[in-house]
Structures are given as C-alpha cells and as structure tokens.
Amino acid sequence: MQQIVADTASFQASSRQFQAAHILVVDDDERVRQMLTRYFDGEGYVVSAAANGAEMQAHLKHGNVDIVLLDLSLGGGEDGLDLARELRTYSDIPIMIVSGRDDVIDRIIGLEIGADDYVAKPFHLREVHARLRSILRRRQPGNARQNAGDGRIVRFENWALDLERRELFTAEGTSVELTTGEFEMLATFVQHAGRVLSREFLMDATRGRQLGAFDRTVDAQIVRLRRKIEADAGRPQFIKAVRGVGYVFTAKIV
C-alpha cells in the first residue's frame, strides 16, 4: 500500500514539472478532442484543440505549442501523416500520433517522417500522459547532458553535437535540425560509441519504455538519423547494424 502511495505521489510530482506545457490536440472526433482536452486541462496543462489541418496550422502560427497529439484519419480526406510530414519541414516540435490506425506500416511511416511516438486507439489516458511526459522530459536541456555524457559539445568526424542546445552542427558551423527522437538516439550513440547496443537498450534509453515484439520504432529512427549524418545512408559508416543484435556507433569521438 505504501509503495502504491509513493508511486502515485511520484507520478503527480513529475506531472507538475510540465504543467505549463501547451498541448495541441488534432482530431476530427469531437468526443476524443473533448476527452483529451478535459483530461490534460485537469492535469494542469494548457490545451488547445483542432479538428483539421487548417485549424492546426492556425494554432501553430499563433500559439506557443509544445507538443502535438495528432490523429491520422481526419475529416475531408486529410491524412495526419501528410500534416506531420509538412510540419517536419519547418519545425522540430514533438509529435505524438494518437490514431485508430494500428497497422505496422502506418507506425513505421509515422516514425520515419519524424513522429516522436505512436499510440493506437483505444488508449488509456494514463499511458498517453506517461508517454507525453517522457517526450517533454527529453526536451529539457538538463537531461541531454545526463543522457549523453559530461561534455557540452561532442565532436565526431565532421560533426559537432551540442548537448545543452540540443543541436547538431556541420564542420562549417551549419545547424542541422534534429527531432527529439533523433537527438536522443544520436546522444545515446555518442555516449556508448564502439559498443554494440541492442534495440531493447536503445528503446529504453531514448523512449523510456520496452520494445514490443513488432515495434520498429528504433529502426525507423535510425533510418532518419542516417539520412542526416551519413554521406550515403544506404552504406552507413557511423551507425552500423549488427545482425541479430542491434547497432554500433563506429565514429571516432574527439
């Protein structure tokens, strides 16, 4: 009983860290919008809601949104994957897909285009909340140093990863935009350079949860990261797969 009380208190204390966060719920089902809005409003968050892409863009343009909860099947033939893909062209704002489409292909595509997590309907509100807190926690600058080592800037080959600013720079000083998931994955790799890391380890280190039997989250994230840091993503030199085990980061850390 004491453990249950302690766990509940810990969850509530953790939730208070993010009460100022602004959540944008994008779903064409009014009942789902109201349910998520009421729940997160009750948890102390600032919550806005949108029924379609146009309303979503309006909120993003005029509001300081910290995370988007996005459905995939919207009214009028709109596809949430297209909205996520468009959003990723100009912003690294966290995206959590919350959708009734539970097909493995949809999950992989969603993660490949830059979503930070994917939750299938029907869902438990506490699970959505826990995953949302995990994403927001990873966005905090203080956690980047804990996750990726003690140095503020880590250099490998012709790249420099700033752990406090959560930015990646080329040798010429050009910033390369990383999503939350991409940054966490790269930070984990540079911390464990030269070690073979299992998919289970990478999932726990970057997402804070266990890897499901058919979960391709790690692989999809690595595909995206390779496209940004490898000269030839098809023949990676930095992030190499170890068949039947996981991945190893082979770049020299300086």
Region 141-249: CATH code: 1.10.10.10
Q: In what order do the strands lie in the sheet with 117-120?
A: 46-50, 22-26, 67-70, 95-99, 117-120
Average pLDDT over residues 217-225: 87
Higher per-residue pLDDT: 30 or 181: 30
Residues forming CATH 1.10.10.10 domain(s) in the chain? 141-249
Structure confidence at residue 25 (pLDDT): 97
Average pLDDT over residues 14-29: 77
Q: What is the pLDDT of residues 147-195, one digit of tens each?
A: 444 458 889 988 999 988 888 999 888 999 888 888 889 999 998 889 9
Outline where 93-251 has alpha helix (H).
104-112, 125-139, 141-148, 180-191, 199-207, 217-229
Least confident of 3-7, 128-132, 177-181, 243-247: 3-7
Domain 2-139 fold is: Rossmann fold (3.40.50)
Residues forming CATH 3.40.50.2300 domain(s) in the chain? 2-139
Strand-pairing partners, residue 196, are 248
Structure confidence at residue 212 (pLDDT): 53
Least confident of 18-22, 31-35, 60-64, 103-107: 18-22
Q: Measured between alpha carbons, how far is 9 from 210 in angstroms, rounded to an integer?
A: 23
* Chain mean position to CA 91: 13
Least confident of 3-7, 136-140, 222-226: 3-7
Higher per-residue pLDDT: 9 or 42: 42
Q: Measured between alpha carbons, how far is 70 from 84 in angstroms, rounded to an integer?
A: 8
Report CA dihedral (51, 53, 57, 58) to the nearest 10 degrees.
Answer: -40
For residue 35, what is the enclosing H or E element?
A: helix 30-42
Residue 28 has pLDDT above 90, yes or no: yes
Its pTM surpasses 0.75: no
Average pLDDT over residues 132-144: 69
Name, of 12-16, 18-22, 184-188, the range with top average pLDDT.
184-188
